[in-house]
């Protein structure tokens, strides 16, 4: 077996990548198939994901629009009861941020709404592979007078006033932690998550080193009797798991795996939500393993975004 320390990585590199590259990099964590990423694999991957309705992957990228319209036109957008969209009115219109999943769902339910149609027309032109199945080209309508749509760049979002920046700037973090920590992470709303799947990952394969990986417990010092007991339990768990894989599937064998198992999870949300998460997960009342990872993460966030 293998024992590793918990860790995190803020996904700055993906923030500057295309939507397809970002979605593939996040999506492949579920099956630990990052080795299949090539220069040309992103668009086929996300096209297949979209076609199969794997919507959780499509939550891992957002697009922000500056919309010019008369204030009364915003009522038409709000009447659609848009889910998972962040909308902030401006004197000359509004700013809208949503995930690819959110925009696709709006296409299915409210594609004829003039504002929704305008947003989708821009997205379809830029990334047809993400929207063709829900918003084909023949759905694009002529833009009405007084309506204008502009997709904002990441640098423009980062130069927004603080109150807007907190709401519209989304940041992803890739955690390597134990399963107990992820059970707590996924309670946060509104966030999006993608997690390594024990149902599909077969840890007896060469790419996993033919072994199960566990997170070092912060509760027990190495060399103590308690740590020795923990290590014995993990060794026995691994033995049983690998034995079960000889006659059953990973989804069956995983039933013996404990909370100490290493897992990878991507957590994606806006800065306002990260601020809330840190306010809860770095206090003395927080679970110790959560504090172990969240305190250094919060410090790193505040270096990059002092507004937190």
Strand partners, 10: 173
Question: In angstroms, rounded to a whole number, what is the distance separating the alpha carbons of residues 86 and 96?
Answer: 6
- 3 state DSSP class of 204: coil
Active site residue 150: no
Sheet with 93-99, edge to edge strand ranges: 85-90, 93-99, 62-68, 148-151
Query: Which of 254, 260, 251, 255 shows the shortest CA–CA distance to 181?
Result: 260
For 270, phi then psi, to 5°, come to -85, 170
- Of the candidates 101, 55, 59, 106, the one whose C-alpha atom is nearest the C-alpha of residue 81 is 106
Catalytic entry in 104, 169, 254, 281: 281
Pairing of the two strands 93-99 and 85-90: antiparallel
- CA torsion, points 110, 137, 129, 53, in degrees to nearest 10? 40
Cα–Cα distance measured from residue 57 to residue 36, given in angstroms and rounded to the nearest whole number: 17
Active-site residues, by number, are 281
């Amino acid at each position: 077996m293998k024992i590793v320390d918990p860790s995190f990585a803020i996904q700055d590199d993906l923030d500057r990548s295309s939507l397809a590259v970002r979605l593939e990099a996040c999506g492949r964590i579920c099956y630990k198939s990052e080795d299949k990423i090539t220069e040309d694999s992103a668009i086929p991957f996300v096209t297949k994901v979209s076609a199969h309705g794997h919507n959780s992957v499509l939550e891992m990228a957002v697009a922000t629009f500056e919309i010019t319209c008369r204030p009364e036109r915003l009522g038409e957008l709000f009447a659609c009861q848009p889910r998972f969209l962040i909308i902030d009115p401006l004197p000359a219109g509004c700013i809208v941020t949503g995930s690819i999943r959110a925009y696709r769902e709006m296409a299915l339910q409210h594609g004829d709404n003039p504002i929704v149609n305008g947003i989708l027309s821009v997205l379809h032109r830029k990334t047809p592979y993400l929207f063709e199945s829900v918003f084909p080209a023949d759905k694009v309508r002529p833009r009405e007078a007084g309506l204008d749509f502009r997709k904002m760049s990441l640098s423009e979002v980062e130069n927004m006033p603080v109150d807007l920046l907190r709401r519209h700037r989304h940041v992803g973090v890739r955690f390597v932690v134990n399963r107990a920590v992820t059970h707590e992470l996924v309670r946060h709303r509104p966030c999006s998550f993608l997690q390594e799947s024990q149902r599909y990952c077969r840890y007896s394969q060469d790419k996993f080193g033919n072994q199960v990986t566990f997170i070092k417990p912060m509760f027990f010092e190495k060399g103590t009797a308690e740590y020795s007991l923990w290590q014995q339990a993990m060794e026995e768990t691994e033995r049983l798991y690998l034995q079960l894989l000889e006659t059953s599937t990973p989804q069956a064998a995983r039933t013996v795996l404990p909370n100490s198992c290493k897992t990878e999870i991507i957590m994606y949300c806006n800065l306002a939500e990260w601020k809330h998460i840190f306010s809860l997960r770095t206090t003395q009342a927080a679970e110790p393993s959560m504090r172990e990872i969240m305190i250094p993460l919060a410090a790193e966030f505040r270096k990059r975004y002092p507004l937190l």
